[in-house]
Amino acid sequence: MTAKQPAALGDETPTRVARAAAMALRLARHRDMAITAIAGALLLAGYLIELSAGSRTPLVWVLYGGCYLVAGTDVLRNSVRMALKLQFDVDLLMIIAAVGAAAVGHPEEGGLLLFLFALGHGLESYALGQARKAIEALGRLAPATARVRRRDGEEVVPVETLRPGDVVVVRGGERMPVDGEVREGESDVDQSPITGESRPVQKAPGAEVFAGTINGDGGLVVEVRTLASETLMSRMIRLVEEAQEQRSPTQRLAERFTRVFVPFVLVFTGAIIVVPPLAGWLEWDVAFLRGMTVLVGASPCALAISTPAAVLAGIGRAARNGVLIKGGMHLEELGTVVAVAFDKTGTLTEGEPRVVSLRPSEGVAQAELLRIAAAVESRSTHPLAEAVVRQASELGIAFDPADEVQIQRGRGLEGMLDGVRVRVGSARLFTEGEGAAPLPAAIASTVAEIEQSAQSVMLVALGDRFLGVLGLADRPRAGVGEVLEDLRSMRVEHLVMLTGDNPPVAEAIAREIGITEVRAGLLPEDKIREVRGMLDRYGRTAMVGDGVNDAPALAAATVGVAMGSKGTDVALEAADLALMSDDLAKLPFAIGLSRATRRLILQNVIISMGVVCALIPLGMLGVTNVAWAVVLHEGSTVVVALNALRLLRYRR
């Protein structure tokens, strides 16, 4: 037995080390609250011993000193660092007030001040931590590994090693490790972590899936389309992390106010301490205590936390509901918009038009018309171009991509096919610019007829000969009319469609969804002009779009809103918000959240400054003392922090 005892003790040693390490980690995570607990215990012990002994014994002073040391070290370090930069903050006010209380024989009140100040900081950290957890949880959604199909079987590998074209197997109940396209299998997928959709979405071969979403009961085989660092989830996390670093207008204003207000409080407190005794109104010790009371009451701690806590909670709540907001400034500004400009294709409509009319010229076969059009449009990523290419592929029409294709912005494409110039685009491509000429009568008649059917027109010319006309149609997004009514009910009354499409098509879509203002036939620079005009006429204006041609207008608007999952990278970069599910119903939610955030910030400012404005005269008149000033001051800080957390449960 004894021979085994050392081995048993040796086995316990790693366990003890592990336990100690785990305890140290927990303490590090809850450092602020640990400091508060220790300082509170020292303060309480000193007070009870003083109460029982009837005097301040050396032990009482040691306990009070320990409370000062534990609770005040971080505060002192920060205040000294800021003071060396000639920047004075609330930490300096707290240190001066605590030392002043001890200097006039009230160390228990100074200890109480530092204890409650530490408690307030701890609760602030908790409130901000809760808001950050809602954001950091996004980063834990996507799996770290994926099951890759190889020639000789399946292999589990880190997602960072995956490349486009790899094929992964996702079993029932697992999270998607990648962004990709389903190749085999059918299943319902819960996309709420990414898009906020409340119901699972049916996925079948050809459907798009996103990393972090949850597979249902069916197994799926998915082809990887993007690197792990460029998945929709990764982009969401990056955008939210960047948003945390930005300051909202209210927060910047509060910081500027604090930088001016703190030195004013120091001078004002000095006047309260010095002037009344010199004038014979108060004794020195009474004036000093009143000065310390004013110093505590005037410290704008609650004001400093009121805005960042609310903004962080609002950004976190938005991210959990499929809305990415790139910073506090944009979160606040969204709630002020009174007008919204919408791109049409891919925003108000599904963005997947189809070829519904093929009208070749005399002597031209439909297949030949479609082949020539697809040869040029295959070089473009525009939704109308993709519709032409898709139609040709579905009909089994083979084509070779055209060469030397050039984009004529807002008009169409030009290229070379077998050494002959090919032009594909709207009527403006042929009637405006260099080489413009009127359309042949037959072609003009066909164009007018197709436009009357609310179809987008695409003319095709090979050399100087018109081969015919294609008509393409897109459908409004499901529920878009209800979204527009919802916005009007929120007093966002000016809703305008901006599109490069021709007027008859744009107006037909607008009538169907309930938009009364339409600006059609616009080039990208025209959209900027229209957005700026709306800013002049209506005031704060949001722009919603998804394409490269929308990016300038998104940047020009008060708030730019991009369609997140199908929007181009350029649009996402230019925008201030992204709707990750491409669901316009998230726009009223985001505006409502912004307004709720602004209301909470206002409430917090009123609470924090209300307490300050009340405590200053009460302290000057001697109605309240340092202890009560500390309780009310730190209490307002806690109330402000907890009030901000209500945004994490916001629902519209």
Give catalytic residues, as residue numbers: 343
Tokens 């009357």 belong to which residue?
452
Q: Which residues pair with 321 in a beta bridge?
A: none
Q: Which residues pair with 181 in a beta bridge?
A: 208, 223
Answer for the pair 141, 176: CB distance below 8 angstroms, yes or no: no
Tell me the pairing of strands 541-545 and 559-563: parallel
Separation of alpha carbons 326 and 314, rounded Å: 11
Answer for the pair 538, 557: CB distance below 8 angstroms, yes or no: no
Cα 389 from chain centre: 36
Q: Which residues pair with 155 in a beta bridge?
A: 148
Separation of alpha carbons 626 and 97, rounded Å: 9
Tokens, residue 623: 């109605």
Separation of alpha carbons 382 and 582, rounded Å: 17
In sequence order, the 6+-apart residues with CB closer than 8 A to the CB of 366 are 358, 360
In sequence order, the 6+-apart residues with CB closer than 8 A to the CB of 632 are 297, 611, 614, 615, 624
Q: Which of 421, 405, 425, 428 is nearest to 464 (CA)?
A: 421
Tokens, residue 236: 């969401």
Separation of alpha carbons 252 and 242, rounded Å: 17
Answer for the pair 345, 499: CB distance below 8 angstroms, yes or no: yes
User: End-to-end alpha-carbon separation of the chain, Å?
Assistant: 69
Answer for the pair 607, 302: CB distance below 8 angstroms, yes or no: yes
Answer for the pair 50, 60: CB distance below 8 angstroms, yes or no: yes
Burial tier of 438 (Cβ tally within 10 Å: 0-12, 13-18, 19+): exposed
